[in-house]
Amino acid sequence: MLLDTPICDYGWKAPDFTLKDPNGQSFTMSDHLSNGLLIAFICNHCPYVRTIADRLAQDMDLLMSKGIGVLAVMSNDYRDYAEDAPPRMLEFARSNGFTFPYLVDEDQTVGQAYGAVCTPDFFGLNSEGMLQYRGRLENLGPGLAGERQPELVNAMLQIAETGRGPQDQIPSMGCSIKWTRG
């Protein structure tokens, strides 16, 4: 089911969390806030995520080179969606060149606490953990000379510089998060 993300709730205090990657290494959100943090709710099987995976890897590398933290979280119920299971997450990350942590939200508490609705769903936080961006990866309209317009990168660079995100944001859209049934 195709869903759009809600409008950015500027200044919402993001709850801290600790999640593990598929190899069992723990990552705590607050440890990655120094110059801002992007939290990307993604999964392996979503066609929207698959379409942007290469650009996502490139953009996240650029953000990390600027000292901005990046964490990806997979909140889908992988028992019902085997393609999203942790071993497949490792394969997906490797095949798409992800250099950022890709974390398993096994009990879905992080996705629920953040109000994540779809994959991809991007949360851009400032160094104080306050929400400043909730939009899409890029503007799909024509840029100058047909260049892509990397909205997410520009927003995160602005957040790193000023602590505040852009006022105009276009919601992300994608597949619904696959919540545990019953």
> For residue range 23-69, what is the model confidence (pLDDT) as tens digits?
999 999 999 998 999 999 999 999 999 999 999 999 999 999 999 99
CATH number, domain containing residue 130:
3.40.30.10
Domain holding 134, by residue range, is 2-176
Token reading at 16: 């801290």
Whether pLDDT at 135 is above 80: yes
Give the pair of three-digit tokens for residue 34. Answer: 């120094």
Query: Is 44 domain-assigned?
Result: yes
The domain tally of the chain equals 1
- In Å, how far are 38, 62, 115, 122 from 7, measured between CA atoms? 16, 25, 12, 11
182 domain-assigned: no
Residue 45 and residue 178 in contact, taking contact as beta carbons nearer than 8 Å: no
Highest mean pLDDT among 15-19, 142-146, 166-170, 172-176: 15-19
In whole angstroms, give the CA distance from residue 82 to residue 3. Answer: 22
CB 175 within 8 A of CB 1: yes
What is the C-alpha separation between 102 and 104, in angstroms, rounded? Answer: 7
pLDDT tens profile 73-107: 999 999 999 999 999 999 999 999 999 999 999 99
> How far is residue 54's CA from residue 92's CA, in Å, rounded to a whole number?
11
pLDDT of residue 143: 52
Tell me, what's the pLDDT at 82?
A: 95
Average confidence score pLDDT of the chain: 92
Predicted TM-score of the model (pTM): 0.93
Q: Is residue 181 part of a domain?
A: no
